Amino acid sequence: MDLNWLQDFVCLARTLNFTRAANERNITQPAFSRRIKSLENWIGVPLIRRSSYPVQLSEAGEQFLPVARNAIAELTDIRQILRAQERGVAAFQRIAVLHTISVNYLSRRISEAELIIPNLRVRVYSDNLRTCCQMLSEGTCDFLLYYSHKDVQPVFDEAQFTRKDIGVDPLIPVAQAEAAQVHRWSLDKPGPVPIPYLGYDPASFLGSVVDQTIGRREPPLSLLYMDALTEAIKRRTLAGSGLSWLPESAVAAEIADGQITRVGGESWEAPLTLSLFCSLDRLDGTGQALWESF
């Protein structure tokens, strides 16, 4: 038995697509298929119905899925505990988080928690949404912190975990203040010239949120630049390159000192809920205290 086989199976059960699951697991599709077959050989029964599209779990696969999830979580947990005991220190509390939340919220929040939780040690994994969700699902982190939005479907099974909503961070349309004034950029009072637009990948979570916010309205935007990272779009915005939608927390200081200005009213905002997930029964005492501190 290889732990990778279990992680592969859980990923396939979520995506129901061999190619997509192989991409998420960072291996070739033939190699991924061989590992799934090896797991089925080890168990002795088929776990996947390959004749349907998309593929489906067999009855045995449905029975085995929660066992695989629990095995991954327990093995990961005990490895962390044993390594920490060997070093004589408290185990790390592992948090998977989106890049922008790590920069604009989490680092400050952890500094505050360290003042009230003895021996708190934190390891932060800053990555994209898909990877962060995969880490929680596979038990390689203890907490997941990400944005959620009422009109965008979650990318993992939230029902498996305990959720705590800890705040709202609006996604707001902004531009560099001087550029916005000179060119008269405004979503509420659009001029005759299209506004240069700094956008997210449409397949990304924030890209989907912006699309939902714009809806059927047709603001005069001319897509100039696309990026997956909020911080990269923020830098282009500060340089006066165009209009962008950014989390309010990411630009609060720049708005306060006049570098950045809003270029649209409340109807152009999108409320992002800052949501924290974990499996409460897998947390140690320090993890429980950290959860309660949020």
Q: Are 33 and 9 in contact (CB under 8 A)?
A: no
What is the overall mean pLDDT for the chain?
Answer: 89
Q: Strand runs (DSSP E) across 177-249, as ranges?
A: 195-200, 221-227, 243-247
Q: Looking at the structure, give the CATH architecture of the domain made up of residues 82-166+273-293.
A: 3-Layer(aba) Sandwich (3.40)
Q: Alpha-carbon distance 78 to 62, whole Å?
A: 25
- pLDDT higher than threshold 60 for residue 237: yes
Phi, psi of 154, rounded to the nearest 5 degrees: -65, 155
pTM of the model: 0.69
Q: Alpha-carbon distance 181 to 190, whole Å?
A: 13
Q: Are 187 and 263 in contact (CB under 8 A)?
A: yes
Question: In the predicted model, what is the mean pLDDT of residues 250-268?
Answer: 95
Question: In the predicted model, what is the mean pLDDT of residues 134-157?
Answer: 84
Q: Are 254 and 209 in contact (CB under 8 A)?
A: no
Question: Which CATH entry fits the domain spanning 3-71: 1.10.10.10, 3.90.550.10, 1.10.357.10, 3.30.70.260?
Answer: 1.10.10.10
Q: Looking at the structure, give the CATH architecture of the domain made up of residues 169-272.
A: 3-Layer(aba) Sandwich (3.40)
The percent of residues in the chain predicted with pLDDT above 70, rounded, is 97
Residue 76: pLDDT band (50, 70, 90) is: confident
- pLDDT higher than threshold 90 for residue 284: no
Closest by Cα among 98, 213, 106, 200 to 150: 213
* 171: Cβ contacts below 8 Å, ≥ 6 apart: 206, 209, 210, 213, 245, 246, 247, 248, 269, 270, 271, 272
Compute the Cα dihedral for 25, 28, 32, 33 and give only its sign: positive
Confidence at residue 201, expressed as pLDDT on a 0 to 100 scale = 87
Domain ranges of the chain: 3-71, 82-166+273-293, 169-272
Confidence at residue 181, expressed as pLDDT on a 0 to 100 scale = 94
Question: In the predicted model, what is the mean pLDDT of residues 126-153?
Answer: 85
Domains 82-166+273-293 and 169-272 share a fold: yes
Question: In the predicted model, what is the mean pLDDT of residues 85-105?
Answer: 81
| Cis, peptide link before residue 54, omega less than 30° from 0 | yes
